[in-house]
Amino acid sequence: MILMESILEYLATLLWSGWTSLLDYLAAHVLLCLVPAFIIAGYISAMVPKEAITRYLGPRAPRTISYPAAAVGGFILAVCSCTILPLFAGIWKRGAGLGVAVTFLFVGPAVNILAIAYTGAAIGMDIAIARIVLSVGFGILIGLIMARVFRKDEAIRAAQMAESGMFEQKATVKSAVWVVFLLLMAVLIVGTLQVAALTTTWLTINLPLDIPESLLTTLSNLSLTPQGALLILLLLLIAPVAYLGMEHVLERINRWTYLAIALVAITLLIAAPAVTAGSLKIGITGRFVGEVILLGAIGIVASRSFTRDELSSWMWETWKFVKQIFPLLVLGVFLAGVVKVIIPGSLIQTLTGQNTIWANLIAVLFGVFMYFPTLVEVPIARMFMELGMAKGPLLAYLIADPALSLQSILVTGKILGRRKTIVYVSLVTVFATLSGYIFGMTLAAI
């Protein structure tokens, strides 16, 4: 009987840890990052033709253009670790140089707008910025080394391969696309940037309502604030409405589509103000004002500049990203909270609590054997940080996880062959380890 009670108590502790982690994930600052990031990813996928990037990856493009294009291609194409492999195979088989293709393969998932935005909000902008800078820098270096090592194979391949039209296709992007893109990026920045102009409360509104004490007690027992509870209710409401409005949006735009858009905007606006815990005092912050202005501007420009088909495509691509990633992300966040109780913090501190080469290498190897879908690696990394992992190994893990999973290694081996794959994996292991070590050393020197 005592044993059964102990087991039930332990299970309750695990579930509670997962629940509180999920609540923290659904906090306002994460919603203000993640919702715009999904919208931006869908927008780029729909509005920026792939030909606008792939034409710069071809064999005729100079290195000064092809390597930077490969490095930023993941951001523009909003690719994740699951979609980078077929794109990599496509550009490689159609004539992209080995170095350029490898750079695209390594850097693509690391600069995914979703991953970068969520990393900054959940872990810290220092990690997010380092993830971009070191991934791009070392990604280009890995590509150049691969091209140098296998230069004879590349010369034979170039001579044998006939010219294809993939890299010659041109695509024009109208100016309104970039205007809306900048406005969307501004929504993301205004929603997450912690500066006085945005966080200061300029006006306080007292709503003429009283929250029952019993309700406040219940919310407190669930580790929820009134604002947090309302945001979760909105997310639960958005799910069925978005399905009804977005699942067939390429065929028609209906009233559910407009309702889904409205609910998303309302969610962002409710997440933006400062709400006093346990009361209905609404603080109108610079963040809230900025979100109102930007969302209005996006609505005006998009409705006047884009056709119904373009808007439908944007909504469909966004909905597709949400369907693919958000359920896994919620599950991953919950499981990260559960695992945090299971894994001894002392073990993490012993293995990766200091910024040493060995600690960074251990973090990289964990990324090889424990693959997580896009964004799920972020709550896992946050869990490691809370258990005592140093920031250097933390960055090494984040860089290695999408690039060195066993699935990615096996698929890459089929595309490039054993020799090239062994060299590629070795280089990524070395440079991911160095990335974390250099970042940790930089933090220590500041």
Q: Which among 270, 356, 310 is positioned nearest to 26, based on CA atoms?
A: 270
pLDDT at res. 315: 93
Is the per-residue pLDDT at 81 higher than 80?
A: no
HSE, side-chain direction, 13 A CA sphere, residue 188? 23
Is the per-residue pLDDT at 387 higher than 80?
A: yes
* Spatial contact of 254 and 229, defined as CB atoms under 8 Å apart: no
* Same-domain check for residues 400 and 275: no
H-type alpha helices, 26-124: 28-47, 51-54, 63-77, 84-93, 98-110, 113-122
The pairing of strands 281-285 and 274-275 is antiparallel
Q: Which two tokens stand for residue 222?
A: 């669930």
Establish if 265 belongs to a structural domain.
Answer: yes
CA distance 198 to 409: 44
CA distance 323 to 82: 14
* Same-domain check for residues 352 and 428: yes
Cross-strand bridge partners of residue 201: 285
pLDDT tens per residue, range 193-231? 777 888 888 888 777 777 777 777 877 777 777 788 888
Establish if 77 belongs to a structural domain.
Answer: yes
387 backbone dihedrals φ, ψ, rounded to 5°: -85, -5
Q: In the listed set 294, 327, 360, which residue is the last one of a domain according to the structure?
A: 327
Its sign, for the CA torsion 7, 370, 336, 334, is negative
Q: Determine the average pLDDT of the residues in 153-178.
A: 68
* Same-domain check for residues 141 and 257: no
Task: Report the percentage of the chain scoring pLDDT > 90.
Answer: 23
**Conformational region of residue 79, where left means phi above 0, alpha means psi within -120 to 50, and beta covers everything else:** beta
* Spatial contact of 337 and 20, defined as CB atoms under 8 Å apart: yes
pLDDT tens per residue, range 12-44? 777 887 787 777 767 655 677 778 878 887 887
Task: Report the percentage of the chain scoring pLDDT > 70.
Answer: 86
The CA distances from residue 112 to 38, 136, 322, 424, in Å, are 11, 12, 14, 21
* Same-domain check for residues 134 and 253: no
Establish if 98 belongs to a structural domain.
Answer: yes
pLDDT tens per residue, range 419-431? 998 999 999 999 9
What is the count of structural domains for the chain?
A: 3
Establish if 288 belongs to a structural domain.
Answer: yes
pLDDT tens per residue, range 35-69? 887 888 788 778 877 666 666 776 667 788 888 88
CA distance 337 to 421: 35
Task: For residue 48, give every residue at least 6 positions away whose Cβ sits within 8 Å of its Cβ, in sequence order, or none.
Answer: 76, 77, 173, 177
Q: Which two tokens stand for residue 297?
A: 């501007």
CA distance 35 to 264: 8
Is the per-residue pLDDT at 163 higher than 60?
A: no
Q: In the listed set 144, 168, 192, which residue is the last one of a domain according to the structure?
A: 168
| pLDDT confidence band for 245 (50 / 70 / 90) | very high
pLDDT tens per residue, range 275-291? 765 556 787 888 889 99
Q: Which two tokens stand for residue 189?
A: 């920045």
* Same-domain check for residues 181 and 139: no
Q: Which among 371, 382, 369 is positioned nearest to 333, based on CA atoms?
A: 382
pLDDT tens per residue, range 176-189? 888 998 999 888 88
More confident position, 326 or 299: 299
* Spatial contact of 352 and 363, defined as CB atoms under 8 Å apart: yes
Q: Please state which of the ranges 93-102, 345-354, 433-442 shows the lowest mean pLDDT.
A: 93-102
Q: In the listed set 168, 183, 214, which residue is the last one of a domain according to the structure?
A: 168
* Same-domain check for residues 150 and 179: no
* Same-domain check for residues 347 and 321: no
DSSP 55: T
H-type alpha helices, 306-405: 308-342, 345-352, 357-369, 377-386, 391-403
* Same-domain check for residues 188 and 311: yes
Establish if 26 belongs to a structural domain.
Answer: no
Establish if 147 belongs to a structural domain.
Answer: yes
| pLDDT confidence band for 161 (50 / 70 / 90) | low
CA distance 344 to 383: 12
* Same-domain check for residues 277 and 320: yes
pLDDT at res. 203: 81
pLDDT tens per residue, range 97-155? 788 888 988 887 777 777 787 788 778 888 988 988 998 999 999 999 998 998 888 77
| pLDDT confidence band for 369 (50 / 70 / 90) | low
* Same-domain check for residues 365 and 285: no
Establish if 2 belongs to a structural domain.
Answer: no
Establish if 41 belongs to a structural domain.
Answer: no
Q: Which domain holds residue 104?
A: 47-168
Q: Which among 331, 407, 337 is positioned nearest to 369, based on CA atoms?
A: 407
CA distance 320 to 180: 20
pLDDT at res. 16: 81
> Average pLDDT over the chain, rounded to whole?
81
Q: Which two tokens stand for residue 161?
A: 């391969």
* Same-domain check for residues 178 and 317: yes
pLDDT at res. 259: 94
* Same-domain check for residues 222 and 154: no
Q: Could you give the 3-state DSSP secondary structure of residue 239?
A: helix
CA distance 243 to 371: 29
CA distance 3 to 258: 54
Strand order in the sheet with 201-206: 201-206, 281-285, 274-275
Its sign, for the CA torsion 156, 157, 161, 164, is negative
